[in-house]
Amino acid sequence: MFNAILIEKNDDVYQSNLTEIQDTQLPEGDVTVRVAYSTLNYKDGLAITGRSPVVRTFPMIPGIDLAGTVETSNHPRYKAGDKVLLNGWSVGEKYWGGLSQKARLNGDWLIPLPESMTERQAMAIGTAGYTAMLCLIALERNGLTPERGEILVTGANGGVGSFAIALLANQAYSVTASTGRLEEAEYLKGLGAMTIIDRAELSSPGRPLGKERWAAAIDSVGSHTLANVCASTCEDGLVATCGLAQGMDFPATVAPFILRGVSLLGINSVTRPYDERVEAWQRLSTSLDMTQLDAITREIGLSEVIPTASELLDGKVRGRIVVDVNR
């Protein structure tokens, strides 16, 4: 038996509980992993609280990423004792996820844990840091260099935003951070942000084109914020979009794209090919100052996940939540 967060839906009544589960209840898969750490992401919060219908099948173990040790394997890439990590592939939504002491998965979804990284460090980075790195890689592949100018990061106090600031600053980019919590300015400057702006400047309906302000941006917010970011991006600038914290809508015009040549880059962090995932995680293992993880991360046990999920959705959580599933 093992412990896990289990989401059930009976007669439209949605319940999440910390539950004991039998090994025989594990789903099909060719690799079984003893989970060491998982995380609590925005999507996990939506799943656990039921505030948005992200869970596609019930019962469901949430947790969109995990790190641990292979217990058994029928996959050619892995053997018992290997350290592995996973993020994406609809775990926690369609397939049982990482907020559990044990997981059985499709081995194609896994990658080896980078040798220089611990399981806890990997989950302190998690899907948020991985997504931020995918954004940076996409921007660089489209020609971004530090000499191009200022880079905006929206949702700066969130997981993706915090890592985006740290990654950009460590690569010598000048970063402007947009946040709804200006009292956290020192935290953001500690990550490497040069300038802090109030998200209210971007979160309301704006003009089709604004003053040119940023060479590029990483946006995890969507909706009016993303529209205004595009409207104020410089000629031939780049915007990587990876989230929808404000909304899934995009109330914009084509003006920034056809009058300034702005490029909007969509970031899919869920189903990347194996080689891309390995590249991103290898870069994370060398590009991040691992001492910064303590500033970004708060650790909780499995028993604290459900109340913390509500705090996360209410905007009361800064940075990353790492879950030690064995306490």
Is the residue at 272 inside a domain? no
226 shares a domain with 143: yes
Q: What is the pLDDT of residues 276-306, one digit of tens each?
A: 999 999 999 999 988 878 777 899 999 999 9
237 shares a domain with 181: yes
Q: What is the pLDDT of residues 181-236, one digit of tens each?
A: 999 999 999 999 999 999 999 999 999 999 999 999 999 999 999 999 999 999 99
pLDDT, residue 156, reads 95
140 shares a domain with 261: yes
The upper half-sphere exposure of residue 161, i.e. CA atoms within 13 Å in the direction of its Cβ, equals 30
Is the residue at 95 inside a domain? yes
Domain count, the chain: 2
Read off the pLDDT of each residue in 83-91 and give the average, rounded to a whole number: 95
Read off the pLDDT of each residue in 167-176 and give the average, rounded to a whole number: 97
pLDDT, residue 280, reads 97
Is the pLDDT assigned to residue 97 strictly greater than 80? yes
82 shares a domain with 37: yes
Is the residue at 271 inside a domain? no
What residues make up the domain containing 316? 2-113+290-324
Q: What is the pLDDT of residues 48-71, one digit of tens each?
A: 998 888 999 999 999 999 999 999
Is the residue at 316 inside a domain? yes
CA 215/CA 148 separation, integer angstroms: 6
pLDDT, residue 289, reads 85
Is the residue at 273 inside a domain? no
Q: What is the pLDDT of residues 3-62, one digit of tens each?
A: 999 999 988 788 999 999 999 999 999 999 999 999 998 889 999 998 888 999 999 999
Instruction: Using a cut of 0.85, tell me whether the model's pTM lies above it.
Output: yes
108 shares a domain with 63: yes
CATH number at residue 86: 3.90.180.10
92 shares a domain with 68: yes
204 shares a domain with 162: yes
Contact 123, 67 (CB under 8 A): yes
CATH number at residue 187: 3.40.50.720
